[in-house]
Copies of this chain bind each other. A is one copy, B any other.
């Protein structure tokens, strides 16, 4: 019986009931839209997934408005899909069963910065760049940095991370509390602002990474960090990817608290040189960043440089002035677009496995052999300190043969990572793209997840068709 509830949303894919449309229009006036361009824009993320346009778009301005919309949609059993900045890579925002999109972009207020507690509360539509610009004068920053101009709400919903996770953790570790709207339109706060608590179930962590399927995140309280007294960066080229990865594994195992360590393969370095006008040596390359006191940063960089020599580093170029550091990391963040520009009108299919660090070298090694004969360009970049790396498959999404080849490469890669006790997605999320791997990765734990979903969203109106297999 319960299963019938979860699958029943298919029956709901029937356009927007006129009465619901009228109620939403009455609530939002010109902030309610059924224009084709609006709907198209809100039915796609980045990456290769096809657009699945919602039936309407609501430009909300408050948590209370979202609660009212969810109550209306619940009454009509119509899906509700939260939309941040549309930077998702796995089809998270596509309206696979139709429904109403809630656009969060107007909910972009920074509600409270508390330097004394090193935390901040923001509305879900605030972007990470907006937040860091706001914080700079207070000497604070928020470290989680996925590519793209992502919103904090979207980052929480997908359990995002980025280049700083090796030192600062992911959204899992850095969300203190959430305000959210439940499937029956109640407003809840998941936790108090204390740094730790043993008071009941960890609803914060349950919603972080739930991709809008258990509740809609409307406000987020985040941990902040003081801008380090000293920051330095270094670039280090290698003859082989194996050498680069071996150095990273040694650095992590020695407990050196690197803030960032990113791997770019030769293809990516070439793309970055062209796109961002850099003159990097075109070889497998590590970007390092060190945070701490002046003395601490010098000590870290010195230790890594010494280790690098043991692992066949070809050079070790320090970049301690802010300008060259910023150019370097801007280029790193633009790799997605740099790689996409390798081929006109191409899209990137980005893989996202993450494995225990001891398994990283064999996983990358086998993967390199596997992709050697691919019919399209493939880049590799990695948050290698976490065991996470991405292949960028530069495909023409209109070409069926290429889509099939890309899917097969990803399939083999995911199975390889799972065999090494890794995960199919380190930071991009499941969306629609990785549902097929959920049982393979989690086995009977998928049934536990489905029970939680049914309990918190019995009508299956919250972003249906995402995260969990529907059968």
Contacts and interface: CB of A to CB of B under 8 A. Distances in A.
B194 A445 contact: no
A188 B423 contact: no
A434 B115 CA distance: 31
A377 B390 CA distance: 60
Given A114-B358, A194-B355, 17 more contacts: A117-B357, A173-B173, A186-B444, A187-B444, A194-B356, A194-B387, A194-B388, A194-B423, A198-B423, A200-B442, A200-B446, A200-B449, A201-B467, A203-B449, A206-B206, A226-B253, A295-B296
A452 B453 CA distance: 9
A138 to B, nearest CB: 12
Contacts of A252: 118
A182 B215 CA distance: 24
Nearest to A161: B196
Interface string A196-232: 1111111101101110001100000000011010000
Nearest to A431: B198
Nearest to A253: B116
Nearest to A449: B201
Interface of A: 114-119, 158-161, 165, 169-170, 172-173, 182, 186-203, 205-206, 208-210, 214-215, 225-226, 228, 249, 252-255, 293, 295-296, 299, 352, 354-358, 386-388, 417-418, 421-430, 434, 437-438, 441-449, 451-456, 467-468
A429 B197 CA distance: 8
B214 A209 contact: no
A145 to B, nearest CB: 14
B208 A468 contact: no
- Integer count of this chain's copies in the complex: 2
Contacts of A467: 200-201
Nearest to A210: B201
Contact of A426 (B189, B196, B454): B196
B387 A195 contact: yes
Contact of A428 (B191, B198, B293, B468): B198
Contacts of A443: 188-189
B357 A116 contact: yes
A162 to B, nearest CB: 11
A205 B205 CA distance: 6
Contact of A203 (B160, B189, B448): B448
A347 to B, nearest CB: 21
A434 B354 contact: no
Contacts of A194: 354-356, 386-388, 417, 421-423, 426
B445 A172 contact: no
A202 B206 contact: yes
Contacts of A454: 455
A441 to B, nearest CB: 6
Contact of A165 (B118, B196, B354): B196
Contacts of A203: 445, 448-449
Given A452-B452, A456-B452, A199 B358 contact: no
B196 A170 contact: yes
Contact of A354 (B196, B254, B255): B196
- The list of the 8 closest CB pairs from A to B, nearest first, reads A455-B455, A205-B205, A197-B423, A116-B358, A194-B354, A226-B255, A193-B421, A188-B445
A452 B209 contact: no
A198 B426 contact: yes
Given A114-B356, A205-B172, A452-B452, A226 B254 contact: yes
Name which of A119, A198, A208, A449 has the most chain B CB atoms within 10 A of its CB: A198
Contact of A199 (B165, B296, B425): B425
A145 B224 CA distance: 26
A254 B228 CA distance: 10
A207 to B, nearest CB: 9
A451 B455 contact: yes
16 contacts: A114-B358, A116-B249, A116-B358, A172-B202, A189-B445, A191-B423, A193-B422, A194-B426, A196-B386, A198-B430, A200-B430, A200-B441, A200-B449, A200-B468, A201-B210, A293-B299
Name which of A255, A299, A429 has the most chain B CB atoms within 10 A of its CB: A255
Name which of A115, A172, A386 has the most chain B CB atoms within 10 A of its CB: A172
A261 to B, nearest CB: 13
A191 B170 CA distance: 16
